[in-house]
A and B are shown apart, each in its own frame.
Chain A
């Protein structure tokens, strides 16, 4: 367990570094959070009380990340116990993804507990998307579709979580590395779906959800962005960069409001 490292990271957090974050205001805004004057009770675990200057933005960001990771874990739990008719060679790969999700959830849950924060209660999920996909666990194609959007949204929501954890190098690093793992899972699921006959690639093209189901489409809103900073990536500097490539090359973060709408579609 890396709890020791986390505490160390929190202790090492220099107040100056926190202030260096130019758009702290926008972080708070993006989470709809109030500036919390009170530090989270990690102080009890820390010998350097004065340097443990955190706001509840850190805890909120972890809860936000858990919002998708818990859903993913539940999805793979059901998939692996309900015997989705996937090709035999796929089984071990799905189990590997499931194992990674379990580990991520355990990690964040331990962090929240260790810092005296509330662990979010599990939600009641509806992976059949309100009777639109009743064969989600009995049809390989349906299973892959839901897996695809949960993984892509995982990458996107972690983009927002990383930003919320910017003031704590250790936690931020953890979220970055989990996001990277999520991207690996997403690429693999997309490759499986491609191999199963869907014309798609391991990266997100435009805002194409590769389905007509509205709940899934919500996971791709804003993914067709071609503006990065002030630059339009399409054919930037005369390089051969198509609209598709410009959108594929950047995984857009999904902010709280969009994420909540997306998750609502998957809950009862």
Chain B
């Protein structure tokens, strides 16, 4: 299947009515166009070009990008929960979910700016096909899963960051996600707010590689974290 015009739309933003010849003229004039033209000869080229892998990067930048990815996930989740409330969602529940959504917006937008446009990964489309937003138990279970996963991941990221300013900023966000996690736990089973703390009174933590493995399936693009720092 060849869809050169679709590809040209993506690459140049030209209207779809433009002729192939004109496209080639256009393309010849822009930098890097050789790549686009070459790719037009391949099959399934649009898939390759549009669905490229995202690499989070290395060192602190990679860790911050991973935090950014996680906040994108949480923000998208609560946004959907509030937009499509399950039947019987109480006003109190709406209030809590809306607050949490807005905190995740704050985390997401802050990290996006802090990383700067050249270093931040793009917004990644989420895949929530495994979540039934019409069912309270499904929403609560996923909220618990996301909050625990993100709390543990942020704790892990904080352990690895080398630049103190970044450490402080992520630390400030990590405890707010821990607050969310505690409350969601209490909503599901009262008294389980700190079920994850160990015999030293410490909360759980997870290294970026293994936590990325369990959130990957919630994104429509493939995410690579192979260069992320390790414990």
Contact = CB atoms under 8 A, between A and B. Distances in A.
Given A241-B109, A245-B105, A250-B176, A187 B182 contact: yes
B102 A249 contact: yes
A126 B218 CA distance: 50
A180 interface: yes
Interface string B188-218: 0011011011011111110000000000000
Contacts of B144: none
B171 interface: yes
Nearest to B110: A228
What 10 pairs across the A-B complex have the smallest Cβ distances? A180-B203, A103-B201, A177-B202, A245-B102, A249-B106, A183-B178, A104-B201, A183-B175, A100-B201, A187-B179
B114 A231 contact: yes
A177 B179 contact: no
Nearest to A228: B110
A248 B178 contact: no
Contacts, number: 200
A174 interface: yes
Interface residues on B, range: 35 or more
Contacts of B201: 99-104, 107, 178, 181
B168 A248 contact: no
B25 interface: no
Interface in B158-185: 158-160, 162-165, 167-169, 171-176, 178-183
A182 interface: yes
Contacts of B196: 184
Contact of A100 (B162, B163, B181, B194): B194
A236 B199 contact: no
Contact of A159 (B106, B162, B168): B168
Contact of B165 (A20, A23, A177, A248): A23
7 contacts: A103-B201, A172-B158, A184-B181, A186-B179, A191-B186, A239-B109, A245-B103
